[in-house]
Amino acid sequence: MAATLILEPAGRSCWDEPVRIAVRGLAPEQPVTLRASLRDENGALFRAHARYRADARGELDLERAPSLGGSFAGCEPMGLLWALKPEKALGRLVKRDVRTPVPVELEVLDGHDPEPGQLLCHARHERHFLQPGVQRELVRAGRVRAALFLPPGKGTFPGIIDLFGSGGGLCEYRASLLAGHGFAVLALAYFRFEDLPEHLNDIHLEYFEEAVDFMLQHPKVKAPSIGLLGFSKGGDLCLSMASFLKGITATVVINACIANTIAPLHYRDMIIPKLVSDIGKIKITKSGFFNFMDTWSNPLEEHNHQSLIPLEKAQGPFLFIVGMDDQSWKSEFYAQIASERLQAHGKERPQIICYPDTGHSINPPYFPLSRVSVHAVLGEAIVYGGEPKAHSKAQVDAWQQIQTFFH
C-alpha cells in the first residue's frame, strides 16, 4: 500500500489552530523523515525536518510518536511549524497581507539523515489568517489609520485595539486571528504608515483617543468600553491609554515597560518624558548582535519618576504577559513594579503570567521563534531571546490566557 500523508483538518486551517499530521501505508517500523517548508511574502524560505519511526502497523501519528531528532526532538505534534527556520540568516516570519494564506509544503521521505531516500508522499496545506466570515475593513477615519476585523454574525462584539512595537507600520496578523474568537479588533498603526509620522519623535495621545472614540462609536462594537492589547513599545502606549483615556476597562501587555519609552508622550497640556536610556550600554554579542536590555535605566530612580505611567488612574484590570528570557526589556521587573504601584494605591493586583525560557517576541501560536532578527527601524540585528520549544508552548498558553482575560 502506498504511503499517504493525512492532515486534519485537510486542505486549510487557521494559523492559530493545530493540525493533526499522520502517515499511513508505511512498512512496520519504517524510518522516515518528515519535512515542512514555506515561503513568506518576500519569497524567503523557511524549513524544518524531523526523524520518525513508524509503529508495528506501519502508521505514524505525530500526536503520539516522538521525533528522534532533527529540528526538534520528542512528542511535538506541531513541531514542524514552530521549529521552522529561515534559510537566510536573521530572517523572521512576518505576515503582512492577512487576506492571503501561507502555503505549507509537507513531505515524507524514506530513511533518516544524513541522506533521506525517495519521496514517499507529500501534501500542501494552507494556513489562513481570516476565519470564514471574518470581515476586514481598512480604516481612514480622521487621523486614524488602521484595519478593523469583525467576527461573523449579527449583533455587537467586545472591542479591542491592538498595538505593535517600535518597528512601525500596520501589523494585522494578531488582530485578524483574534477576531476569529469573537472580538472586534482594530489593528492600529501609529507611525511609518501612509501619512503617519515616519519616526517616533513625539507621540500624541490624542491620536489614540481618536481611535478609542472610533471603536466606541462603531455599530458592531459593544459599548460602553473596549480592551487594549499591546506588545513592546505598544505595551507602554496601552498602559498610558488605560491611565489617561476614558472607555477602557481591560488591558493586556506583552513584554512591556511600566514607563513611557523611546519618545516623549504628549496629552493636552501634559508631557510624559521618555525613560532615560544610555546607548553606551548596548552589549554586542560574539556574533555581532545588539542587546539593548541594559540600556534602559531603572524606572524607580528619581530622575525617571516623571516617565512612570500612573496606572492607578486606570479603570480596569491588567494582564502582564512576561517572557523570562526577554532580552529587550526587563519585563518581569516592570510587571512587579506595576503590581506594587497598583496595590500601593489600593487597586486590584494585576494578573502576571511569567513564561520561563521565553523571549521578547511572543506571537500567536505556532509562529516560529524570532530569537535574533534585523529590527525594521534600526536596521541592526537585535537579540530577542527565547528557546524554541519553551517559547512555542508559551505562545499557545498566552494566546488562550489573553482570550480568557478579555472575555
Mean pLDDT computed over 168-187: 97
Mark whether 119 and 268 lie in a shared domain: no
Residues 6+ apart with CB under 8 A from 111: 31, 32, 33, 117
Mark whether 155 and 110 lie in a shared domain: no
Mark whether 92 and 192 lie in a shared domain: no
Tell me, yes or no, if 360 is annotated catalytic.
yes
What's 290's domain CATH number? Answer: 3.40.50.1820
Mark whether 120 and 140 lie in a shared domain: no
Residue 290 has what pLDDT? 82
Sequence letter at residue 45? L
Tell me, yes or no, if 326 is annotated catalytic.
yes
Show which of 128, 162, 192 is a domain's final residue. 128
Mark whether 54 and 84 lie in a shared domain: yes
Residue 116 has what pLDDT? 84
Mark whether 109 and 152 lie in a shared domain: no
Calculated CA dihedral for residues 228, 232, 236, 239, nearest 10 degrees: 30
Mark whether 289 and 233 lie in a shared domain: yes
- From the list 360, 370, 391, 392, the catalytic residue is 360
Show which of 128, 143, 170 is a domain's final residue. 128
Mark whether 402 and 308 lie in a shared domain: yes
Mark whether 230 and 355 lie in a shared domain: yes
Q: How far is the C-alpha of 370 from the C-alpha of 25, rounded, in Å?
A: 36
Residue 302 has what pLDDT? 94
Query: CA geometry: angle at 140 spanning 134 and 144, to 5°?
Result: 100
The total domain count for the chain is 2
Mark whether 140 and 113 lie in a shared domain: no
Min mean pLDDT across 151-165, 255-269, 281-295 is at 281-295
Cell of 154: 449579527
Q: 172-175 long-range contacts, Cβ below 8 Å, gap at least 24?
A: 172/95, 172/96, 172/98, 172/129, 172/136, 172/147, 173/15, 173/94, 173/95, 173/96, 173/98, 173/129, 173/364, 174/229, 174/363, 174/364, 175/147, 175/149
- From the list 326, 361, 373, 392, the catalytic residue is 326
In the chain, how long is the greatest CA-to-CA distance?
76
Tell me, yes or no, if the pTM score tops 0.85. Answer: yes
Residues 35-72 have pLDDT tens digits of 999 999 999 999 999 999 999 999 999 999 999 999 99
What's 54's domain CATH number? Answer: 2.60.40.2240
Contact between 290 and 253 under an 8 Å Cβ cutoff? The reply is no
Mark whether 199 and 72 lie in a shared domain: no
Q: How far is the C-alpha of 404 from the C-alpha of 81, rounded, in Å?
A: 25
- From the list 232, 243, 307, 392, the catalytic residue is 232
Show which of 103, 128, 153 is a domain's final residue. 128
Domain, as residue range, for 121: 4-128
Mark whether 112 and 146 lie in a shared domain: no
- Per-residue three-class SS string for 304-355: HHHHECCHHHCCCCEEEEEECCCCCCCHHHHHHHHHHHHHHCCCCCCEEEEE
Residue 120 has what pLDDT? 97
Q: Is 379 left (phi over 0), alpha (psi -120 to 50) or beta?
A: left
Residues 15-28 have pLDDT tens digits of 999 999 999 999 99
Q: How far is the C-alpha of 101 from the C-alpha of 210, rounded, in Å?
A: 32
* pLDDT tops 90 at residue 381: no
